Amino acid sequence: MDLAYKALLVLHFIGMAGLLGGTLVGVSEKPLRIKVASLHSGLLVLLAGIFLIIVNAMQHARDESVELLDHSKLGVKLLFVVVILVLGFLNVRKTEVKRSTYMTIFGLALANVLIAVFW
């Protein structure tokens, strides 16, 4: 179980790097566009995060010394990822995205990292 958790955590980090990096690279481009790779990274973040929660709960059920994750923190992070994905999928086919929409996606991705580290 510990190996599965660590593998999922690595996938979660890779997805977050792709999401944050993909949006950061696109900030300087004209016109602003949502990259499909960033959305795929966002889906990886979402799925790996959900499976991390499941594996953590399974580990806790087997061994109560394993600390459960903070579900309020996870709820906020989940909300941010869902908003990122909704905004992304609504705007991915547009030839140009409003700067405010693009920066909202970037800001939420960055906030997700900051919440993970500092909460």
Which range of residues forms the domain containing residue 57?
A: 2-118
Q: What share of the chain is helix, strand, coil (3-state, %, to 5)?
A: 80, 0, 20
- Flag residues of the chain having pLDDT under 70: none
Structural domain tally of the chain?
Answer: 1
User: At residue 5, what is the residue type?
Assistant: Y
- Residue 85: the pLDDT is 98
> What tens digit of pLDDT does each residue of 67-82 get?
999 999 999 999 999 9
- Residue 104: the pLDDT is 97
